[in-house]
Amino acid sequence: MIKNKVISFFKENYPNEPIAIFSPGRINLIGEHTDYNEGFVFPAAIDKGIVAVFGRSDTKISSIHALDLQETYSFSIDNIKPLSKDNWANYILGVIVEIQNKGRNIDDFNVVFGGDIPIGAGLSSSAALENSIVYGLNELFQLGLSKMEMITISQKAEHNYVGVKCGIMDQYASMFGQKNKALLLDCRSMEAIPYPIDFKEHQLILIDTHVKHSLADSAYNNRREVCEKVASLLKIKALRDAAAEELNTIKENISKEEYNMALYVIEENSRVQKAANAMLKEDLEALGDLLFKSHEGLQKLYKVSCAELDFLVIKAGENTNVLGARMMGGGFGGCTINIIEKNALDLFSKDTSRSYQEMFNKECSIYKVKLSDGTHLIQ
């Protein structure tokens, strides 16, 4: 069990009494790329995540140990600078700097972290890590930060130290998740309504493509710029406030590609609201249909899918035991999310794995997930 491994490593290598934090990854049932448009999303925390164990340092040096990578980075809390691009330690250093920017004082410390959340699968391992760090430091040094302040720190760390202009959904879902519930999150007001979900005879599964195309981060930032441009031309704060017919008033000022991207965001925002109604009615078939439509928009309008994701969604759509499927996350790789009958899961998994291997000459991974509580202190 990952918790025991991380705690044991800390106790073997550091002298002071530790505290341990679990911070979950997240899924998003529906509502992709709507968060930075101040729209609605439907995320949930899952039972896979990051365990981080903290203790005070008796020296003037802090250390971070990534147990899964077997790598350690040491530094002084008073002299933090960004590392090279793609260095994992930037996620943690960014959190520390943003805490300091809020006027909170922390001393040198040691932290060991590890997890069972697949990296690069679109399950927000970065948000889980950031949240585990800010939550742990808040506990260790009694900083008095609220959960809302903590997720803002996590988001700013990703903006300023990692260079990804992410929305707030990932950090919010990881921090505020509730067991067996999804959160209808309004990304403007930052208020969420928990919706209990009973999947009954169905199972939520993720299929990991094991693909992350190199253009993912730059394409994400590009699409955010497009959304902001269209909102500006419409003279509104964000695309959350737009209706599809309004796009025709500025059609001559934007490209066909930009039009389609804005249209996708408007339609996806509407699908989230429809998903809420489907959950209230316990209508899993309606929810599943919305997932398929979401993927079609992500593929054809927003253009953030890829051959591997499309293949998995097509396979799911051909199986009458699958209610719905779509790509999940920023795009260009990662996971699909699927709602499938439990008694059909084994056969579907074997067939999909075999077909994927034959098509792409690589394996996919299939995970069952449950909806979990958010970031918290563990004993």
User: Which residues are catalytically annotated?
Assistant: 170
DSSP one-letter code for 369: -
Cβ atoms of residues 52 and 33 within 8 Å: no
* Backbone φ, ψ for residue 122 (5° rounding): 80, 20
Cβ atoms of residues 309 and 333 within 8 Å: yes
* Backbone φ, ψ for residue 322 (5° rounding): -100, 120
Helices 89-101 and 147-157: angle between axes, nearest 10 degrees: 130
As beta bridge partners, residue 325 has 338
CA distance 297 to 12: 51
Specify the amino acid at residue 88. W
Pairing of strands 109-115, 62-66: parallel
Instruction: Catalogue the E-assigned strands of the chain.
Output: 19-28, 40-41, 43-56, 62-66, 71-75, 109-115, 181-186, 191-196, 202-212, 322-328, 333-341, 365-368, 376-378
Return the number of other C-beta atoms located less than 10 Å from residue 205's C-beta: 23
Q: What is the dihedral of CA 223, 229, 233, 234, to 10 degrees?
A: 50
CA distance 290 to 271: 6
Cβ atoms of residues 364 and 312 within 8 Å: yes
